[in-house]
């Protein structure tokens, strides 16, 4: 993955754990993102989203007991909001099928389970943005794979 694969992108990181938020910031900055903002909770996320347009939001599922997906759901319902169609990658520690399904139903473009390697995160962001450029909002992409048990 090129060190400049996220060049000229404006990224919003919504993550409640400071160490993870800092790590993700270093990753996307290292991949060339030109502008990186972060938020530790739902209220801070809305402040950022209302203040400036973003190309992509990296969104945690669980934010200090709050539902991170509520941001996504509300944003998708606000057609007049400048970030209503922002590319959203849910970046979380939850790999349960119902969580992935909920994220997709609420409008997520992709889903990654932490911890995630920098090249995987960069590739997923590029993949989502290319898919959107080619076809508009496409089918969500996930690294989570479930295998049916033969039991």
User: pLDDT tens, 60-117?
Assistant: 999 988 889 999 999 999 999 999 999 999 999 998 989 989 999 999 999 999 999 9
Tokens of 60: 């945690």
| 2: in domain | no
Q: Is residue 131 part of a domain?
A: yes
End-to-end CA distance of the chain: 40
pLDDT at 144: 45
Is 124 inside any structural domain? Answer: yes
Contacts of residue 133, Cβ cutoff 8 Å, sequence gap at least 6: none
Residues 103/144, Cβ–Cβ less than 8 Å: no
Q: Please, which residues have CB within 8 angstroms of residue 58's CB and are 6 or more apart in sequence?
A: 11, 12, 13, 14, 15, 24, 28, 89, 91, 121
What single string gives the DSSP state of each residue in 11-23?
EEEE-S-HHHHHH
The answer to whether 81 touches 49, Cβ cutoff 8 Å, is yes
Nearest-angstrom CA–CA distance, 151 and 142: 25
Q: Please check whether residue 134 lies inside any domain of the structure.
A: yes
* Per-residue model confidence as pLDDT tens digits over 24-62: 999 999 999 989 999 999 999 999 999 999 999 999 999
Is 151 part of any domain?
A: no
Number of domains the chain contains: 1
pTM, whole model, 2 decimals? 0.87
CATH number at residue 39: 3.40.50.2300
Structure tokens at 53: 């347009």
30 within a domain of the structure (yes/no):
yes
Range of the domain at 135: 10-142
pLDDT at residue number 149? 41
76 within a domain of the structure (yes/no): yes
């Amino acid at each position: 993955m090129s060190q400049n694969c996220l060049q000229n992108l404006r990224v919003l990181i919504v993550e409640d754990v400071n160490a993870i938020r800092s790590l993700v910031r270093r990753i996307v900055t290292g991949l060339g993102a030109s502008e990186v903002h972060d938020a530790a909770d739902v209220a801070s996320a809305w402040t950022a989203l209302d203040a400036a347009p973003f190309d992509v939001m990296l969104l945690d599922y669980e934010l200090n007991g709050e539902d991170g997906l509520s941001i996504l759901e509300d944003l998708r319902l606000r057609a007049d909001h400048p970030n209503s169609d922002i590319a959203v990658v849910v970046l979380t520690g939850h790999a349960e099928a119902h969580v992935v399904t909920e994220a997709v139903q609420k409008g997520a473009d992709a889903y990654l389970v932490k911890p995630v390697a920098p090249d995987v995160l960069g590739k997923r962001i590029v993949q989502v943005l290319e898919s959107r450029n080619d076809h508009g909002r496409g089918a969500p992409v996930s690294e989570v794979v479930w295998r049916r048990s033969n039991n």
